[in-house]
Structure 1
Amino acid sequence: MPIEIRRAAVADAETVLMLLLELAAYQDQQQYVQSTVADWRRFLGREDVIVLLAEVDGEPAGYVSSLRRPYLWVGGDQLALDDLYVRDQYRDGGVGRQLMLALAREALPDRLPIAWGLQLENTAGYRFYERLGARLVTKTAASWSPDVYAGLLDQDG
């Protein structure tokens, strides 16, 4: 199956959000998605937001999203991979690999490292990334919601 990869444009906002919602449902995390089509139109208009869409026969097959941001330890930038998602019917057909290679092509001119997080229970993901030659390091991700830290600030005066 021929896979076409292209950078998502502002006009693709609805498709990108649809794929993101599918990913969230797949991970049983749809309750955390708050972004809207309007948000995605704004994101896709930014140079530092890179979303690559995979299409097979004109149908969306998956996407990879990343954000170019400073990497303070190296004194330069990195691509922070946010999501890699391939729709179920296109898995094991090379779509994920092609998306990752397309992201690498985006990073190569400036020799940007690409970094991402991975859930520990995602054993298929671990195998996939290892086949690409990625170095996998166990690290716990933490998040601090505004509701929680605002409450602490209120208590602290």
Structure 2
Amino acid sequence: MPSTEIRRAIPADAETVLTMLRELAGCQDQLAYVTVSAEDWRGFLGRSEVIVLIAEVDGAVAGYVSSLRRPYLWVGGDQLALDDLYVREQFRDAGVGRALMLELARHALPDRLTIGWGLRLENEAGYRFYQRLGATLNTKTTASWSPDTYEKLIDGT
């Protein structure tokens, strides 16, 4: 049985994380929206509130989970906002995603932080995966407002 190890990413892992982020964006037809650089990632990975965990199976990089510790204004404390969970195709259905989520939970447990994330409605496999973990799934639409769009409104154009 393959050995899975999970470790916290460090600034030297910036290229690895960026490569997987691009793979994930490509799977979701979102690659055109990825503008982050490896230098940006080096900075992120040096920040204590950014938690990125990398899974390796027999030494090969298998996936990652990224999150951000931030204020959770409704509860008067912090939460871990899960940004991405990605497992490379050849490592799927081998427990890597579960191992990443459980390790993220270990980071949240000392402060009893809620872990929250978004999920695309069409991601049926994701829904099944998170239900098996016991997550509560709430339907909610997310919105984004780009600087290019709101700047035009501010400028009156």
- The reply to whether TM is greater than 0.5 is yes
**1:31 shift after superposition:** 0.3
Give the alignment of 1:113-128 within 5 angstroms: 113-128=114-129
Distance 1:100 1:48 in 2: 17
Q: Which residue of 1 aligns with 2:139?
A: 138
* 1:110-134 CA distance string (max 9 Å, x none): 0000000000000000000000000
Distance 2:149 2:11 in 1: 33
Partner SS, residue 114 of structure 1 = strand
Q: Which residue of 2 aligns with 1:8?
A: 9
Distance 2:92 2:78 in 1: 31
Distance 2:87 2:39 in 1: 23
TM-score, reference length from structure 2: 0.98
Pairwise CA RMSD: 0.7
Runs of 4 or more, structure 1, over 6 Å off, are: none
Give me the identity figure in percent: 72
Partner SS, residue 102 of structure 1 = helix
**1:146 shift after superposition:** 0.3
**1:151 shift after superposition:** 0.3
Q: Which residue of 1 aligns with 2:21?
A: 20
Q: Which residue of 1 aligns with 2:57?
A: 56
TM-score, reference length from structure 1: 0.98
**1:109 shift after superposition:** 0.3
Q: Which residue of 2 aligns with 1:85?
A: 86
Partner SS, residue 65 of structure 1 = strand
Partner SS, residue 83 of structure 1 = strand
Q: Structure 2 regions of 5+ residues with no counterpart?
A: none
Would you say 1:99 and 2:100 are equivalent positions?
yes
Give the residue type in structure 1 aligned to 2:105. Answer: A
